[in-house]
Chain A
Amino acid sequence: ETGVTQSPTHLIKTRGQQVTLRCSSQSGHNTVSWYQQALGQGPQFIFQYYREEENGRGNFPPRFSGLQFPNYSSELNVNALELDDSALYLCASSGGTSANQETQYFGPGTRLLVL
């Protein structure tokens, strides 16, 4: 059983650019959640996708958008990057067996630096 994978591991962008981060969910999971973790803080919920539809969104502006594909992998897109977008972006998958459906398993993250 493969775990959650994310790419790239690190990324450097300049203010105003756009970025796409990718996530492959764990085998058998149909739900992907994205979180932003700023330095020294706990992760903050960005949004969640269930079967290719957005299923909840946190307090992030519309320039944060996402997609989920039929194989349940997912993308996070951020437009018009700002310096405060520098953070570790974590993807988590869930939705396995009914006994374990609520448990989210995290990938290693993508560290984004905006200059």
Chain B
Amino acid sequence: AQSVTQLGSHVSVSEGALVLLRCNYSSSVPPYLFWYVQYPNQGLQLLLKYTTGATLVKGINGFEAEFKKSETSFHLTKPSAHMSDAAEYFCAVITGFQKLVFGTGTRLLVSP
């Protein structure tokens, strides 16, 4: 069965610093992987996705993620954090019948 593990329930960075949120997946078939962001009291917004093709995927708000099959990872990065990036981030993998399986989430804190 497909699953994802997000390392670190909280990540703190300073404004302007590199953001790195970690996600490892487990899948018996080639995975489709997603990153979603959730701002307080809101739903989930799609940041980016990997299905097939190029392993470096660019998303909205300057985020990108790289699919590494050998490491079963799909880490999310942003070169320079902004205060508005403070939110909860979820990595997810999709199963055969289109069910999303989410990680437990990582809360990103950005300090001035």
A residues adjacent to B (C-beta < 8 A): 4, 6, 31, 33, 35, 41-45, 48, 55-56, 58, 90, 92, 94, 102-109, 111
Contact = CB atoms under 8 A, between A and B. Distances in A.
A92 to B, nearest CB: 8
23 contacts: A33-B100, A41-B104, A42-B102, A42-B104, A43-B44, A43-B102, A45-B101, A55-B98, A56-B99, A58-B99, A90-B43, A92-B44, A102-B51, A102-B94, A103-B34, A103-B46, A103-B49, A104-B98, A106-B36, A106-B45, A108-B42, A109-B43, A111-B41
Contacts of A106: 36, 43-46
Contacts of A104: 46, 98, 100
A110 to B, nearest CB: 10
A46 B83 CA distance: 34
B59 to A, nearest CB: 12
A41 B100 CA distance: 14
B49 to A, nearest CB: 6
B90 interface: yes
A83 B104 CA distance: 22
A93 to B, nearest CB: 11
B45 A56 contact: no
Q: Looking at chain A's contact residues, is the secondary structure mostly helix, strand, loop, or mixed?
A: strand
A56 B104 contact: no
A92 B105 CA distance: 18
Contacts of B104: 41-42
Contacts of B90: 42-43
A6 B105 CA distance: 23
A60 to B, nearest CB: 12
A107 B43 contact: yes
Nearest to A46: B99
Interface in B29-81: 32, 34, 36, 41-46, 49, 51
B46 A48 contact: no
Contacts of B94: 102
